[in-house]
Amino acid sequence: MSTLPKDDCFYLARKAQALQLRAGFTEHLRRFFIQQGFLEVETPLRIPAPAPEEHIEPLPSGNWFLQTSPEICMKRLLAAGYPRIFQFCKCFRAGERGNRHLPEFSMLEWYALHCDYRKLMDQCEDLLISACRQMGRSGKIVWQNKTIRLSPPWERITVADAFSRYAPVSLPNALAGDRFDEVLVEHVEPNLGNDLPTFLFDYPAQMASLAKIKKDDPAVAERFELYIGGMEIANGFSELTDAREQRRRFEEALKAQAARHQVHYAMPEPFLASLENLPPCAGIALGLDRMIMILADTATIDDVIAFSPETL
């Protein structure tokens, strides 16, 4: 349904504050990385073979696909010796639309060589505290009637501990009953990051297709998610650098996707080849739109972008 020009002005004018927040916050994030010696890079949005992940569907673009994440190209840069890189980019995922989801959304992704997921949690904390302070948000933020303190250190809790603290079933039972996602969403997530931002870490190994397995516990992957006010903001991990293991996981994901959607995606071969050279490293993807939702105190992702798909 088309709107009249005056109404278009009305709806877009209502976004002015959020759009200003967005531009300002992005600038502070970028400055943090430049000060820390990171190189800003751009990788192609359109690629022949996205990283296969069971529950992420790419959107076709000609014979290729729009990226679901910049991960594989950025890791090829790391493997070539670029030690610290970051990127702001658009990512595309089919069928994802809700109060916190857009089929086209903005991601901030960064990687560092000789880093692991624990150091990355610290860095993520530093980044957000610093950028929030530059925006005049030091000490605390209020989001949807929750007052969240920003003072370090932020809370850190393992997935297993979070399940035993908040869920009616234990982590092993949830996994055995194929109810991990459901229990996480219904019982665990709403309790995370309501007082302090919270890192949920040490995911079950099968929930991390590109993360490294923990040396002293093969059931656990070195992966974490950051939650603020119960909302997932970022996902990071120590990167898997074992090409053979990565190929095995990709093959499994491709098989699952083929079974579910009758589609066959290609294997990202140049990426798998580059893993042979990849030193230990870690990387993280932060949902920029959601972080702006927190700062703008809104529960709807549409409020922090000028145009949602339905308005085009």
Partner 1 sequence: MYTASDLRKGLRLKIDNDPYVITEFNFVKPGKGQALYRCKLKNMLTGSQFERTFRSVDVFEPADLREKKMQYLYKEGDKFCFMDNETFEQVYLTQEQVGDAVNFLLDNIEAEILLFEDRPIGISLPNFVELVVTEAEPWAKGDTVSGATKPVKVQTGYTILVPTFISEGEKIRIDTRTGEYLTRVKG
Residue ranges that bind partner 1, judged by CB under 8 A: 1, 3-4, 6-7, 9-11, 13-16, 53-56, 95-101, 180-182, 184-186, 189, 203, 207-209, 225, 232, 235
User: For partner 1, which is the closer residue by CB, 115 or 231?
Assistant: 231
3-state helix, strand, coil in the chain (%, to 5): 40, 25, 35
> Residue 150 CB, nearest distance to partner 1 (Å)?
23
Q: Is 33 helix (H, G, I), strand (E, B) or coil?
A: helix
Amino acid (one-letter) located at 307: F
- Minimum CB distance to partner 1 smaller for 13 or for 218: 13
Residue (of 278, 240, 238, 32) closest to 119 by Cα position:
238
Q: Closer to partner 1 at the Cβ: 40 or 251?
A: 251
Q: What count of other Cβ atoms lies within 10 Å of the Cβ of residue 227?
A: 25
**Helices 288-296 and 16-35: angle between axes, nearest 10 degrees:** 120
Closest distance to partner 1 from the beta carbon of 99 (Å): 6
CB 93 within 8 A of CB 285: no
Of 13 and 216, which CB lies nearer to partner 1 in the complex structure? 13
The CA-CA-CA angle for residues 35, 41, 44, to 5°, reads 160
Q: C-beta of 225: minimal distance to partner 1 in Å? A: 5
Quote the radius of gyration of the chain (alpha carbons, Å).
19
Alpha-carbon gap, residue 160 to 171, rounded angstroms? 6
Nearest C-alpha neighbor of 156 from the set 85, 227, 107, 217: 227
**Where on the phi/psi map is residue 294: left (φ > 0), alpha (ψ -120 to 50), or beta?**
alpha
* Smallest distance, partner 1 to C-beta of residue 158, A: 15
Nearest CB to partner 1, comparing residues 68 and 274: 68
Q: How far is the CB of 216 from partner 1 (least distance, A)?
A: 23
Nearest distance from residue 30's CB to partner 1, in Å?
25
Q: Give least dist CB 164 to partner 1, A.
A: 18
Q: Is 9 helix (H, G, I), strand (E, B) or coil?
A: helix
Q: In angstroms, give the least distance from the CB of 2 to partner 1.
A: 8
- Based on CB atoms, which residue is closest to partner 1, 14 or 149? 14
Residue with smaller CB distance to partner 1, 53 or 302: 53
3-state secondary structure of 149: strand
- HSE-up of residue 164 (Cα within 13 Å, Cβ side): 5
Taking the CB of residue 155, how many other CB atoms lie within 10 A of it? 14
Of 54 and 116, nearer to partner 1 (C-beta) is: 54
